[in-house]
Chains A and B, each alone.
Chain A
Amino acid sequence: MKKKMLIVLSFLLVIPALLIFTSCGKQTVKADVETVQDAQADMDAAAADSSASDVDSESLPADQSVQEPTGPSAEEMMAMEKAEAMQSLVNEDVLFDYDSAALTETAQEILKTKADYLGKQCASIPVTIEGHCDDRGTNEYNLALGERRARSAMNYLINLGVAPSRLNIISYGEEKPLDPGQNEDAWSKNRRAHFIIK
């Protein structure tokens, strides 16, 4: 009876102890990381630091690390890719020829990239496509042309599989130029479909 009691008691003690010590172990590993960094000046102290725990710890020379402190986790990688995709979605405009809403080859390439993002990294984000014109026409007709440009880009994306419910369009005609210059360089920048997250 006493022997059995002893065995049970020891189990009762050991198991929780093990549990505690393994969790401490995790903390100690983290502490080790910090200790490695902190103890650059005093490696001996770290080596002598044998705490009364069951976890192995070893002191390391200064130029080795247990872990890469700058390495991103898989989650962080995904977040960065999403941020890049969103940036690219917003920063790159689709450009048009004068008085046209037709998609050039370059325009189609840009839209394919955007469709890709919209399918993967930016999977559930709503997008509004703004249609703009240069100011050489008249305001009324340009408001209509701007919408045709936005709609042209939107329809292309839908044909590539982007869900229509995610896409909105709006025209600003010639009312919001990107570049106020009066030259072809400025005008060509203004003839655009611009994407925003909305």
Chain B
Amino acid sequence: MRCFRFFIVIIAAVLAMTEISFGAYDYIDINSPSIRKMPIAIPLFKSGTGTINNNDMIFSKQASNMLAEMLDFTCYFKILDRESFLENPLKPETTLQNINFHNWATVGAELLVTGKISIKGDLLEIELRLFDTIKASQLIGKKYKADAKSLNQVIRLFASEIVFYLTGNRGIFDTRIAFVSTGSGNKEIYICDFDGTNVKQFTNNKAITLFPAWSSDGKWIAYTSYLKGNPDIYIKNVNNNSISVIAKKGINITPVWVPGKFALAATLSYTGDQDIYLMTGTGKIIKKLTKSSGSDVSPALSTDGKKMAFVSSRSGTPQIYIKDLYTGYEKRLTFNGNYNTQPCWSPKGDKIVYSGLDGGSHNIFIIGFDGKNPVQLTQDTGNNESPSWSPDGTLIVFSSTREGPSRIYVMTSYGTDQRRVFSISGEQSNPKWSPRLVNK
């Protein structure tokens, strides 16, 4: 009998420390059109050494702010203002037994994150916990040990745990965004983290470079560059910078990767007509996908690889079409307006986001893959172009000239929370969201 009781204690302890996976997904339904944000409190983390050491304080502030910003970026949460908290910030309570949940519920928090940070030389130890203030229960408890330099990575891991617990989806913390910027004097491709931090220049061609496209394993970016004086397609490895070229006569533009394969769809014009072709990553033509005279550009492949959206001028004006890659059947998708381009599939394959010229400026629209339920997401805010869906389907990144120069913006897939992601010198355009980069 004593053994049995002991066994229960162990299990309870383990459960108290780890995620409880059953019943977790009813917190946030990412498919629901309701856009109510969950109020969450993230007080300053506690110093593990118990003393209020300056270094610990700096780290604690940095870490708690970092988590707040990351969670804010997802648009699932309302991050509560620390000024309103009832708790004494100098005496934070972090564990289930000591937290006064009533204090938290009073300020409107439904979720609470507590943290404890200890620094020993270059090493960090962080304990992070997520609580449901109403049920007064711990939902997640994690302990991390890492280099002080890896604080960002640790916070991202925990943010990802929170989002996974609440939605069943890992979120966008492991993703990056590729984009074009003119800051160096020429259009070049840059990459940043999902929230616009850590911007790095990816190409240095000193020539017009456009149309970045991520492979589905996140290891390659294909793009078009005038490096050799002609618009050619380049394929560059994200980690080791190795490059190959596809340089047929004429234009080699708008490359897009075939999901799960080292193969691309792109527009080539070496026969004299501008059509979309399927080709290997080394430029060997596999198949010609479109035939119409006139321009066929901007292929976009669904995540299951079965359908292709693309832009064609075959009806007289640029419109979006969908082709079933098995049956070959092509159907026009857009009928409103005279200029609909830049299609991008939702990760689930049920919708397409695109830009349409409407009253003199470009705006972002979403339409069902069957042509139903078109929705306009931007209005009266300059030119909004080049939309790209996040791999979890919750956010759309796009470029906008609403503040004057072209900049990168993000919004929810419902069109809410439109905000600039970052600002660097020059003008930014053509953003493309990466897949989840699990082994960066």
Contacts and interface: CB of A to CB of B under 8 A. Distances in A.
Query: Do A and B bind?
Result: yes
Interface of A: 99, 136-141, 143-145, 147-148, 151, 169-172, 175-176
Interface size range of chain B in the complex:
20 to 34
B274 A140 contact: no
A99 B208 CA distance: 22
Contact of A139 (B210, B229, B317): B210
Given A143-B231, A148-B295, A138 B386 contact: yes
A147 B274 contact: yes
A151 B341 CA distance: 22
Cβ-closest 4 pairs across A and B: A144-B295, A138-B341, A140-B298, A144-B297
Contacts of B210: 139, 143, 175
Interface in B209-250: 210-211, 224, 229-231, 250
Interface in B343-376: 355, 357, 362
Contact of B187 (A151, A170, A175): A175
Interface string B243-281: 000000011011000000000000101001010000000
Interface string B168-198: 0000000000000000000100000000000
A140 B269 contact: no
9 contacts: A99-B318, A137-B318, A139-B210, A139-B211, A140-B211, A144-B297, A147-B274, A175-B208, A175-B210
Given A141-B313, A170-B231, 20 more contacts: A99-B318, A136-B357, A137-B318, A138-B342, A140-B211, A140-B253, A140-B298, A140-B341, A141-B295, A141-B297, A141-B311, A141-B318, A143-B210, A143-B251, A144-B253, A145-B295, A147-B269, A171-B251, A175-B208, A175-B210
A145 B267 CA distance: 13
B341 A141 contact: yes
A140 B387 CA distance: 13
Nearest to B361: A136
Contacts of A144: 251, 253, 267, 269, 274, 295, 297, 313
A38 B305 CA distance: 88
B53 to A, nearest CB: 53
B160 interface: no
A140 B296 CA distance: 10
Contacts of A136: 357
Contacts of B229: 170
Contacts of A137: 318, 339, 341, 357
